[in-house]
Amino acid sequence: MQAAIRTERAGEIARVIIERPAKGNSLGSAQLDELIGAFGRLAAEPAPRALVLTGAGDKAFIGGASLDEMAGLDAASAKAFIERVHGVCAALRRFPAPVIARVNGYTLGAGLEIAVSCDLRIAASHAVFGMPEVRFGIPSVVEAALLPGLIGRGRAAWLLLTGRTLDAAEALAWGLVERVVPAAELDREVDATLELILAMSEQAVRAQKALMRIWDERPLAEGIAESIDAFARSYHSGEPNARMRAFLAARRKPGR
């Protein structure tokens, strides 16, 4: 049987692909556990400088959690199931390198929670976004809590309380995604973003991602204090000095 989660590594870039196109790349407990394991292994390899997460085919990024499984849950198994969804989201937020969601279609429920746990979202123009849980008698939970900070409380409430969907253009206007391109240009746009990340200091990018998570999770004063310490720590390696001197030297060259 083909694995539901495929991992690829090419130099400094890793890709994780959900291989369930016939199921809309929906996720049951087995696939959620596979994703948590895949992210953990990649983070320890040593970690790549960037990770791309996507779904197989051109219809869905992640169409949501498996309704086949969720229909049979009780209170105890429901808690275990949603903790797995949170485990995937937390692994992405803790991942030491930037994570790009390559959004190639439907991104619903748990799929949207996973997408907003990535650092950047680049979407094909046919992508659709939504949080339909209230239609099925359950609230949207875990990393749905990131939505008010990302798009504002009112817009988050519209998504969460109505169960309605957004098209890619609306998602871009709301700040839910960072780029929208035609499907034929999706890989090109992802690759261009990867090039920008790889051109930056690896040390600084990793420190920046860690700080952004702290800013999300802690009070403002604590986030600023952590930022000051991170700024000072960056000088231990000598890399900032070397990069700044090289920049200044290049600027002083004749003809510049």
Residues with Cβ within 8 Å of residue 21, at least 6 apart in sequence = 55, 56, 57, 59, 60
- Average per-residue pLDDT for the chain: 96
The CATH number for 226's domain is 1.10.12
Q: What is the pLDDT of residues 36-93, one digit of tens each?
A: 999 999 999 899 999 999 999 999 999 999 999 999 999 999 999 999 999 999 999 9
Shared-domain flag, residues 189 and 245: no
Indicate whether 155 and 212 sit together in one domain.
no
CATH number at residue 130: 3.90.226.10
Active site residue 113: yes
Q: What is the pLDDT of residues 114-155, one digit of tens each?
A: 999 999 999 999 999 999 999 999 999 999 999 999 999 999
Give me 242's structure tokens.
């070397």
Number of domains in the chain: 2
111, 229: one domain? no
Specify the pTM. Answer: 0.96
Identify whether 133 is a catalytic site residue.
Answer: yes
Residue 107: phi, psi to the nearest 5? -135, 95
Residues 134 and 232 both lie in one domain: no
Domain enclosing residue 226, as ranges = 202-252
Q: Which residue has the tokens 């700024």?
A: 231
159 lies in the same domain as 218:
no
Same domain, 130 and 186: yes
Among residues 169, 198, 227, which one ends one of the domains? 198
Cα–Cα distance between 113 and 130 in angstroms, integer? 10
Q: Average pLDDT of 209-216?
A: 96
Choosing from 34, 83, 133, 178, which is the catalytic residue? 133
218 in the same domain as 115: no
Nearest to 103 by CA among 64, 164, 60: 60
Whether residue 1 has pLDDT greater than 60: no
Residues 212 and 97 in one domain: no
Instruction: Return d(Cα 103, Cα 171) in angstroms, integer.
Output: 12
The mean pLDDT value for 222-246 works out to: 96
CB-based burial label for 171 (10 Å; 0-12, 13-18, 19+): buried
Same-domain pairing of 224 and 141? no
What distance in Å separates the CA atoms of residue 31 and residue 8, rounded to the nearest whole number? Answer: 17
Which one is catalytic: 45, 69, 113, 178?
Answer: 113
